[in-house]
């Protein structure tokens, strides 16, 4: 099942109306209007890899949330975990402080 990386909206019905069921650079989520052909929506996105991609790309895409021209793009079929994508900076800092806080 494909879902929007930004809001978690189920994209199956929308994708079924597109040629080859693949979003193009101009397509956006019907709910939140976020770009769909993005690194964060791609099955090859991997933050632990060189340039955050499992494919052998020739250059890094700087903004992972914006549409791009990548020829490798394939919509991610896994359910998006939007709660982890939108964890606030303060939440992350608090978690790190709690983790490394010394017991007095």
pLDDT digits (tens, 9 = 90+) for 7-41: 888 998 999 898 888 898 999 999 999 999 999 99
Q: What is the pTM of this model?
A: 0.69
Domain ranges of the chain: 1-104
Is the pLDDT confidence value at 82 over 50? no
Q: Which are the contacts of 54, defined by CB distance < 8 A and separation ≥ 6?
A: 44, 45, 46
Cα radius of gyration rounded to whole Å, the chain: 16
DSSP state of 101: P
The SS3 assignment for 52 reads helix
């Amino acid at each position: 099942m494909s879902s929007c990386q930004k809001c978690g909206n189920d994209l199956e019905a929308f994708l079924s109306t597109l040629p080859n069921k693949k979003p193009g650079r101009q397509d956006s989520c019907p709910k939140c209007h976020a770009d769909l052909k993005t690194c964060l929506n791609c099955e090859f996105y991997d933050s632990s890899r060189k340039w955050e991609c499992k494919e052998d790309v020739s250059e890094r895409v700087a903004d992972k949330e914006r549409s791009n021209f990548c020829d490798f793009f394939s919509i991610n079929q896994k359910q998006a975990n939007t709660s982890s994508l939108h964890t606030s900076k303060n939440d992350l800092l608090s978690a790190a402080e709690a983790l490394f806080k010394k017991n007095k």
